[in-house]
Structure 1
Amino acid sequence: MTLRSPLTSMPLNDLTKTLRSLSEDTKILDNYDERSMTTQRLEEAGLGPLAVELANLHTSKEDLHAELELAWWKSALETLLERSGRSLAADSDEIVQIEKRFAAAETELIAAGSKTVAYGLSGKWKQALENHPSEAQTLKELLKLKRAVISEVGQLAPHVYQALVPVVLASPYEVPRTLAKGERFDVTLVLDGAGSSIAENYSGLVRSSQVVVFGDGVIAAATGFNIECLPEEDQTVRLPESIFTAARRSLPLEVLRRSYRTSGQALGDYINREFYQDRIIFEPTAASYFGQSNVKFERVVAGNSDQPESLDQELSMVIQAVMSHATYTPQDSLLVATASPKHAERLETALRTARTTRTDLDPFFESHGREKFEITTIQELAHRVADRIIFSLGFGKDLTGHAPKLLGQLSNPNGKRYLANLLVSARKQMTIVSALDNKDLLAKANPGVEMFSDLIHELGRVQPIRLEADLNPMIADLAIRLTKLGVTTRTNFSTRIKLVASVGDKAAIVEPDWGILGYNLSERYRLRPALLEAMGWMYLRVPSFELFADPEQVARSIAMSLGIEVTKKAQPLFELSEPAFEDTASAWGDPGDSNDQRLAEDKPPHWG
């Protein structure tokens, strides 16, 4: 037992109890020999001070393992410092500068790579023209006659053609007409493997001995094709197998899990959860942290109708939205999609009428190249991307006040896939226009309609889903220190973002260096920081060594990076928590109101 004071200074009653305890509590002596031997072995191993400290802390048997592990890591750290203290003790600013120089050098190397390839191709092109002057003259004549198609150039100037055309991009339906028969390539890349069959890509497959197939079975499926016109009822319902499905059975599979869209992904969490089972890594934007949603639901106010498809009110709202976009945000591409072919036709007609009075907006409708404005149905929407998308359902309530039994292409057996393809097509913003909400669609059993109902319910969620995950104690401590400095913090913001710190409209991702373990150097120091900064974040990486050694200085550095003048800011003396009851005026019998202000304002008469 431990004596709190010398025996000679104890009161008689306490001395009696102490002596009785010393004489009766002898269990501590039962294994004295074993403990003495263990203590001696700890001393020999240099762990004597640790044993004394554990004894003073009264460490329980349950916590002993954690204490020993901590001691081991501490000794390992001390050993590393002894062996390479110079590198570990280097100034953190110096380390950051080294990392930035690495990122800049790699960026320059990538930029130089394209120039190197261009130089090599130009050298081959020049050499081919010099070595084969007759073929060069033939090519010149074909260019003059505007007959320089790939197949003819390959036949009339084969040597020049090899240097001129190292890569050919073509639709699989145009390959036989574009390329000469028997022409060979090193590799064939199939870019829409999930949306096309083996038969459709056959002409490209036979021209090479290697194939790489890209595809996403969630948003695309092979539909096949016919070479004759058949009545609708005679067409087969069974879809052909895609080349992507066939290839993944026998070829090595590489899953691309990370999204590099700098504008983020509209409804990224919902898409990932519902369609990809959380297999894709979508980084959130800084705008989402501040509560700015990139998805809007515009409810159309309309009564019951005997013609619930393509209501006039919904038609008018969509046309107004299109004209508003062309007026105020013409720099962004726009796409309008609907589940009703009838609604799509009426939208086209109404838009043509509206444009006759706003000819100043014509440049927008003719711009954006491959992303030129378009009104289409969700079934015809395939691999189409736009900055902003308006999805107009195209249906309202019938005379009974209920939604129609069928909601156009959304009720198609592939309606869920159509909807998934639509959602991943929006870069910046998705606007849903509908006269029906999720309450009107609850009774529908079709997968596509059920998914649309669930989507509208997701948009009505007030608070985002909070991530429940263990938080590293050092990160939790850093968050508390930042809060005391006046910084707003949020922990477990996403699966990969454990701490966000913000002041005003500035938001920073605070990432310890153990959070980027497993990534290569490019991902650590160039790709990930650049992606997060492009999405509106400040990226602050914290060395774990500094966070462990001086967390207060790390917190101050982060606060200053966010614009807080730490040195001039008075720090609170106590924890930011409610005072205990015994510290309140009520505990002392005093009234709850304070007269401090009155005493400060009262002045004796002679003060004037």
Structure 2
Amino acid sequence: EEPDLESILDECETCGMSRRMLMWHYRSKDESLIAFSNHQFYGGKLNTFPSSIFGREGFGLHHVHVPSGVFDRGKSRTNRVEAEVVAKMVRDHYARKDGKSLGVIAFSEAQMEAIDQALDEMRKDDRELDAVLSSEEGEPFLLYNLENVQGHERDRIILSVGYGKDENGRFALNFGPLNRDGGERRLNVAITRAKSSLDIVSSIRSEDIDLSGSRSKGALLLKQYLAFAESGGDRRALPTSPGKREDATPFEEHLRMALEARGHKVRMNVGTSDYRIDLAIEDPSEEGRFLLGIECDGAHYASGLTVRDRDRTRQAQLKRLGWKLHRVWSVEWFRNPEGELDRIEEALGSVRPTG
């Protein structure tokens, strides 16, 4: 009798079926939620899109450090302090009543149960929390571990590592399911369940994971992911290079300097995948929002992605992510730079909130 293969995809391939990768990613409303997986698991091949919102609480990737957390290496194999922190985050999330769905993923079944117990204690004295955690309406609250969260997603995900230093300050590189064969794929599933924001809660930092003598791919990827989360999802913290994207052209640099000379705050190459917004002007009246994205016909426009990048699907996705776009042609810029700057000012005036 032949052993079962790991996934239905593997079963299909053994039957001679061809495999095709789906290149477009739509779930994440912030690229930091998919950037690590895109670079580490998908070779940077996913077409993802930058958001017009940045640096805001409750949006994107964040690391929550619990320095007082202690992992019980004995009977319970849990981190009670971290579980209580996660439970408080759940309570605070629902107290905001912003309508965003929530899911909690623990690295182990034992840590999942510890979080469940901490929530049960809170529910005894909090009827509103008890009601919302019991509700089955919309996308109800979910609490899973690494091994059974496949197929689920929520607006916000809280990921509890649990593992950490014991009461004597010793830290064993035992991450349960993550250390097993295929553990890296379980991590990939967990870190891609969020649509709007992901908080990874841990009692350790990336620097605490000493991989000398370890061959665990899962542990290596966790160390790298923690470092990425500690940076707030900064693409410069990714363990591999962003890939094919070239540096800004002299044309784009000239445009940036001209806009800054007019008092605008400008960011270049906004995004983490091959597709990026060439220049983005920050909204002076609303922190954490880009007022206008500017696309140029430089190296990016001339790349092999051009055909896909101009289609309606891309435009619709960028609009969904809140972008207002304006194009500047290099020929027109060199012919009449002041005129092009005036056109940008007009575009800014049309998208600025009134009142």
TM-score by length of 2: 0.79
Q: Is the 8 A contact 2:146 2:177 kept in 1?
A: yes
- Equivalent residue for 2:79? 311
Q: Map Cα deviations across residues 477-515 of structure 1 (whole Å, 9 max, x no partner).
A: 322322222222233334332222334144322113673
- Residue 335 (str. 1) matches residue 100 (str. 2): no
- Residue 486 (str. 1) matches residue 263 (str. 2): yes
- Residue 258 (str. 1) matches residue 24 (str. 2): yes
Please state how far the C-alpha of 1:545 moved relative to its aligned partner.
5.1
- Residue 498 (str. 1) matches residue 278 (str. 2): yes
1:546 to 307, 315, 332: 332
The one-letter amino acid of 1:442's match is D
Any residues of structure 2 matched to 1:116-131 within 5 Å, and which?
A: none
Q: Is the 8 A contact 1:511 1:541 kept in 2?
A: yes
Q: Secondary structure at the match of 2:267?
A: strand
Alpha carbons of 1:503 and 1:241: their partners in 2 closer, same or farther (altered >3 Å)? closer
The one-letter amino acid of 1:556's match is D
The one-letter amino acid of 2:198's match is M
Q: Is the 8 A contact 2:133 2:141 kept in 1?
A: yes
Any residues of structure 2 matched to 1:442-461 within 5 Å, and which?
A: 442-443=210-211, 444-461=214-231
Q: Is the 8 A contact 2:70 2:79 kept in 1?
A: no
- Rounded Cα–Cα distance in structure 2 between residues aligned with 1:503 and 1:553: 22
Q: Percent identity?
A: 25
The one-letter amino acid of 1:272's match is N
1:537 to 305, 323, 329: 323
- Equivalent residue for 2:176? 408
Any residues of structure 2 matched to 1:364-379 within 5 Å, and which?
A: 364-367=132-135, 369=137, 371-379=139-147
The one-letter amino acid of 2:49's match is E
Alpha carbons of 1:289 and 1:501: their partners in 2 closer, same or farther (altered >3 Å)? farther
The gaps in structure 2 that reach 5 residues or longer are 351-355
Q: Is the 8 A contact 2:332 2:340 kept in 1?
A: yes
- Rounded Cα–Cα distance in structure 1 between residues aligned with 2:56 and 2:124: 40
Q: Is the 8 A contact 1:482 1:559 kept in 2?
A: no
- Rounded Cα–Cα distance in structure 2 between residues aligned with 1:414 and 1:525: 37
Please state how far the C-alpha of 1:262 moved relative to its aligned partner.
6.4
- Residue 345 (str. 1) matches residue 125 (str. 2): no
Please state how far the C-alpha of 1:320 moved relative to its aligned partner.
0.6
- Equivalent residue for 1:131? none
- Residue 510 (str. 1) matches residue 294 (str. 2): yes
The one-letter amino acid of 2:176's match is G
- Rounded Cα–Cα distance in structure 1 between residues aligned with 2:175 and 2:11: 33
Q: Is the 8 A contact 1:295 1:430 kept in 2?
A: yes
The one-letter amino acid of 2:199's match is T
The one-letter amino acid of 2:280's match is V
Please state how far the C-alpha of 1:289 moved relative to its aligned partner.
7.2
Q: Is the 8 A contact 1:485 1:559 kept in 2?
A: no
Please state how far the C-alpha of 1:282 moved relative to its aligned partner.
1.4
Alpha carbons of 1:262 and 1:395: their partners in 2 closer, same or farther (altered >3 Å)? closer
Q: Map Cα deviations across residues 45-80 of structure 1 (whole Å, 9 max, x no partner).
A: xxxxxxxxxxxxxxxxxxxxxxxxxxxxxxxxxxxx
Q: Secondary structure at the match of 1:449?
A: helix
- Rounded Cα–Cα distance in structure 1 between residues aligned with 2:173 and 2:60: 30
- Rounded Cα–Cα distance in structure 1 between residues aligned with 2:57 and 2:347: 22
Q: Map Cα deviations across residues 160-214 of structure 1 (whole Å, 9 max, x no partner).
A: xxxxxxxxxxxxxxxxxxxxxxxxxxxxxxxxxxxxxxxxxxxxxxxxxxxxxxx
Structure with a larger share of its residues in helix:
1
Any residues of structure 2 matched to 1:171-190 within 5 Å, and which?
A: none
Any residues of structure 2 matched to 1:262-273 within 5 Å, and which?
A: 263-273=29-39
Q: Is the 8 A contact 2:160 2:200 kept in 1?
A: yes
The one-letter amino acid of 2:324's match is M
- Equivalent residue for 1:50? none
- Residue 324 (str. 1) matches residue 92 (str. 2): yes
Alpha carbons of 1:473 and 1:361: their partners in 2 closer, same or farther (altered >3 Å)? same
Please state how far the C-alpha of 1:321 moved relative to its aligned partner.
0.8
The gaps in structure 1 that reach 5 residues or longer are 1-225, 227-235, 565-608
- Rounded Cα–Cα distance in structure 1 between residues aligned with 2:121 and 2:200: 23
The one-letter amino acid of 2:87's match is I
Please state how far the C-alpha of 1:427 moved relative to its aligned partner.
0.8
Q: Secondary structure at the match of 1:531?
A: helix
Alignment RMSD (CA, Å): 3.2
TM-score by length of 1: 0.48
- Number of aligned residue pairs: give it: 327
- Equivalent residue for 2:153? 385
Please state how far the C-alpha of 1:292 moved relative to its aligned partner.
8.7
More moved, 303-312 vs 504-513: 303-312
Any residues of structure 2 matched to 1:514-529 within 5 Å, and which?
A: 515=301, 518-519=306-307, 524=310, 526-529=312-315
Q: Is the 8 A contact 2:13 2:19 kept in 1?
A: yes
Q: Is the 8 A contact 2:200 2:229 kept in 1?
A: no
Q: Map Cα deviations across residues 264-323 of structure 1 (whole Å, 9 max, x no partner).
A: 344322221111111111111122378996222222232766646322211211111111
Any residues of structure 2 matched to 1:76-91 within 5 Å, and which?
A: none
Q: Flag the structure with larger Rg.
A: 1
Q: Secondary structure at the match of 1:562?
A: helix
More moved, 491-500 vs 421-430: 491-500
Please state how far the C-alpha of 1:419 moved relative to its aligned partner.
0.6
The one-letter amino acid of 2:5's match is P
With a CA cutoff of 8 Å and minimum separation of 6, indicate the structure with the bigger relative contact order.
Answer: 2
Q: Map Cα deviations across residues 204-242 of structure 1 (whole Å, 9 max, x no partner).
A: xxxxxxxxxxxxxxxxxxxxxx9xxxxxxxxx9x65164
Q: Is the 8 A contact 1:340 1:409 kept in 2?
A: yes
Alpha carbons of 1:370 and 1:329: their partners in 2 closer, same or farther (altered >3 Å)? closer
Alpha carbons of 1:289 and 1:351: their partners in 2 closer, same or farther (altered >3 Å)? closer
Q: Is the 8 A contact 1:265 1:428 kept in 2?
A: no
- Equivalent residue for 2:52? 286
Please state how far the C-alpha of 1:373 moved relative to its aligned partner.
1.0
Q: Is the 8 A contact 1:508 1:537 kept in 2?
A: yes
Alpha carbons of 1:426 and 1:561: their partners in 2 closer, same or farther (altered >3 Å)? same
Q: Secondary structure at the match of 2:280?
A: strand
Q: Is the 8 A contact 1:262 1:535 kept in 2?
A: no
The one-letter amino acid of 1:550's match is N
